[in-house]
Structure 1
Amino acid sequence: MTNDERFEVRRLIAATPAEIFGVLREPRGHVAIDSSGMLQSADGETVGQVGDEFVVHMDREALNDLPMGKYDVTVIITRFVEDAELEWTISGTIQPPIKHLYGYQLEARDGGTLVTSYYDWSQIEDRYRGKVNFPIIPEAGLRATLGILARTVEQR
C-alpha cells in the first residue's frame, strides 16, 4: 500500500511471530536490522507496552541529506500488541517531535509470518511540511530492512 503520506511493504518470513517480535522489541534489534546505516547503537530495555522508550544513537551521514552528523533520538512506543504489532515515533534533535510513525504488523501464515513494515508521515506537524523532505526512509529501505530481518531470524 502506498499513498502520499504512507507506504508499507510486506514479506513472508520463515519464522514465528514470536521469533520476529523478539527482535523488534529489542533496542539492539532495531540497530541489527537497519538498512539505512543511520542506526549506530541503542541503549535501553526490552519494550513491553505503549509508552516504553529507548535511545538510538544515529549518524545522519549515512543518508547524506541533512548536515546533522551524529545525534540521539528517543524511540517512543505508540502501539504494542504482543507478537502482532509494534509502532513507534521518535523525539530527538528536532523539537517539537515531527510525529512520523514507523511500525510492523505480524500475521502467522503457512510457512512463517507475513510481516508488514510501514512508514507514515501523515501526522507530522504543519511547521515541518515543506521543510523536511519526506519520506526520510524510502520504500526500498523498508524492503531492505525486511530482508535483513528475514536473514536474522531465519538463521537462528
Structure 2
Amino acid sequence: MSTSPYFQTRRRLVAAAPHEIFELLRDPDMHPVIDGSGTVKASSSHGDKLSQGSQFGMQMRLGLPYRISNTVVEFEEDSRIAWRHFSGHRWRYELEAVGTGTMVSETWDASRLRHKWLLRLLGFTRSTGPNMERTLERLAAQFPTE
C-alpha cells in the first residue's frame, strides 16, 4: 500500500465510530498505548486534547531516550488529524465510516525531507510500514467487539 518508501499508508477496519477513534487520536496520552514501533514512551502534554495548531511533545526512545516536538497541521473533527515533527515528517490519520465501523488510514509522509537517504540508511523505510500495521492493530484493540 505504498507509493514510495518515503510515503506509506496502511489501513484497517476498526469496530468503532469515527468520533470514538478521533477522540483517542487527539489524546497524546494515548499515543504510547497504540504505538506499534515501541519508540513512543510518554506524552509531555498530560491531558491536553489536540486541535489545529496544537504543539505537543513526546518522550521517545530509539536506542537512547530523546524528546520530540510535534505540531498539528491538519484537523478535521472526526475525519482527519495530522502532525509533523521539526524535520518535516508528517503522520496522518483519516477516518471513514464503513457500516458499523471505521476504516482507519495511517500515513507516514517523509517525501518532503531533504535528507531522505538518511531514513533509508537508518532502516526507517523498511520498518515504518510494519510498525504502522502494529499501531493499527493496537488501535483496534482499544475498541474490542463484544
CA-atom RMSD in angstroms: 1.7
Contact preservation (8 Å) 2:15, 2:145 = no
Contact preservation (8 Å) 1:121, 1:135 = no
Query: 2:144 matched to which residue of 1?
Result: 154
Whole-Å Cα distance in 2 between the matches of residues 70 and 136 of structure 1? 22
Query: 1:132 matched to which residue of 2?
Result: 119
Contact preservation (8 Å) 1:78, 1:87 = yes
Match of 2:90 among 92, 96, 101: 101
Contact preservation (8 Å) 1:10, 1:115 = yes
Matched, 1:145 2:135: yes
Per-residue deviation, 1:142: 0.6
Whole-Å Cα distance in 2 between the matches of residues 119 and 132 of structure 1? 12
What is the total number of aligned residue pairs between the two structures?
Answer: 140
State the SS of the aligned residue for 1:153.
coil
Whole-Å Cα distance in 1 between the matches of residues 55 and 127 of structure 2? 21
Matches within 5 A, 1:18-33: 18-33=19-34
Q: Deviations 1:96-154 (Å, cap 9, x if unpaired)?
A: x2x11111000011021010011111111x2x232332427421111110000000123
Whole-Å Cα distance in 2 between the matches of residues 31 and 123 of structure 1? 26
Q: For the structure 1 residues 101 and 136, does the alpha-carbon distance in structure 2 shift closer, same or farther, using more than 3 Å as the test? A: farther
Gaps of 5+ in 2: none
Provide TM-score, normalisation by structure 2.
Answer: 0.89
Query: 2:76 matched to which residue of 1?
Result: 81
State the SS of the aligned residue for 1:130.
helix
Query: 2:2 matched to which residue of 1?
Result: 2
Whole-Å Cα distance in 1 between the matches of residues 58 and 103 of structure 2? 26
Whole-Å Cα distance in 2 between the matches of residues 74 and 121 of structure 1? 16
